[in-house]
């Protein structure tokens, strides 16, 4: 099932999520649906709040279907280590058409559970590191625009409000 992506302005995107406690068939189905929804939206990462589900769960595939082993399920993830700095344009499926440079750690280690509840640690660099941080932020109710200047953020919000008024958001 393909979910539609919740857009900026919906409060579900800005509230912290609840931990996942049941590692059952429903979770497996939800994870499958999240990958499908992410690919449909042409994204490389998707957090549960972006489909209106306030749970501590995200999926990532920075290779966009090229490498099946790159498909990552992050259940209850935490950032355990960060290193270095890297500035790259960043976007979000929930804030379509906008991109802004964001400075983030270049190397990031997360600790998370897989779909069966097994804990694992994984270190990512560059785009994967960015995805770890971006998706974990989502699960804490935080969007990437909280990392850009207040001036740029206000400008972006003004443009979005205009689009909302025009019914184009
Ligand atoms: Zn996002």
CA 137 to ligand 1 center in whole angstroms: 8
Reading phi first (left if > 0) and then psi (alpha if -120 to 50, else beta), residue 114 is in beta
- Rg over alpha carbons for the chain, rounded to the nearest Å, is 16
Which is catalytic among the residues 40, 83, 125, 135?
Answer: 135
Which tokens belong to 115? 């779909």
Residues within 5 A (CB) of ion ligand 1: 92
Which tokens belong to 76? 């209850």
How confident is the prediction along the chain (169 residues), in pLDDT tens digits per residue?
999 999 999 999 999 999 999 999 999 999 999 999 999 999 999 999 999 999 999 999 999 999 999 999 999 999 999 999 999 999 999 999 999 999 999 999 999 999 999 999 999 999 999 999 999 999 999 999 999 999 999 999 999 999 999 999 9
Could you tell me which of 104, 108, 89, 91 has the C-alpha nearest to residue 50? 91
100 annotated active-site:
no
- CB of 48 closer than 8 Å to CB of 35: no
Sign of the alpha-carbon torsion through 30, 169, 88, 103: negative
CA 93 to ligand 1 center in whole angstroms: 6
Where helices occur in 13-116 by DSSP H, the ranges are 25-40
CA 117 to ligand 1 center in whole angstroms: 24
- Residue 14 vs residues 49, 50, 123: alpha-carbon distances, Å: 9, 10, 26
């Amino acid at each position: 099932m393909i979910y539609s992506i919740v857009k900026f302005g919906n409060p579900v995107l800005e509230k912290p999520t609840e931990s996942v406690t049941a590692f059952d068939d429903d979770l497996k189905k939800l994870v499958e649906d999240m990958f499908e929804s992410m690919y449909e939206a042409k994204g490389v990462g998707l957090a549960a709040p972006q489909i209106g589900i306030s749970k501590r769960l995200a999926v990532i595939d920075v290779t966009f279907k090229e490498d099946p082993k790159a498909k990552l399920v992050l259940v209850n993830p935490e950032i355990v280590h960060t290193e270095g700095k890297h500035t790259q344009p960043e976007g979000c499926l929930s804030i379509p058409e906008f991109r802004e440079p964001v400075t983030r750690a270049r190397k990031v280690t997360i600790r998370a559970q897989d779909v069966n509840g097994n804990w694992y640690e994984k270190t990512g660099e560059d785009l994967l590191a960015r995805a770890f941080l971006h998706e974990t932020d989502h699960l804490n109710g935080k969007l990437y625009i909280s990392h850009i200047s207040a001036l740029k953020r206000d400008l972006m919000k003004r443009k979005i409000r205009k689009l909302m008024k025009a019914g184009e958001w």
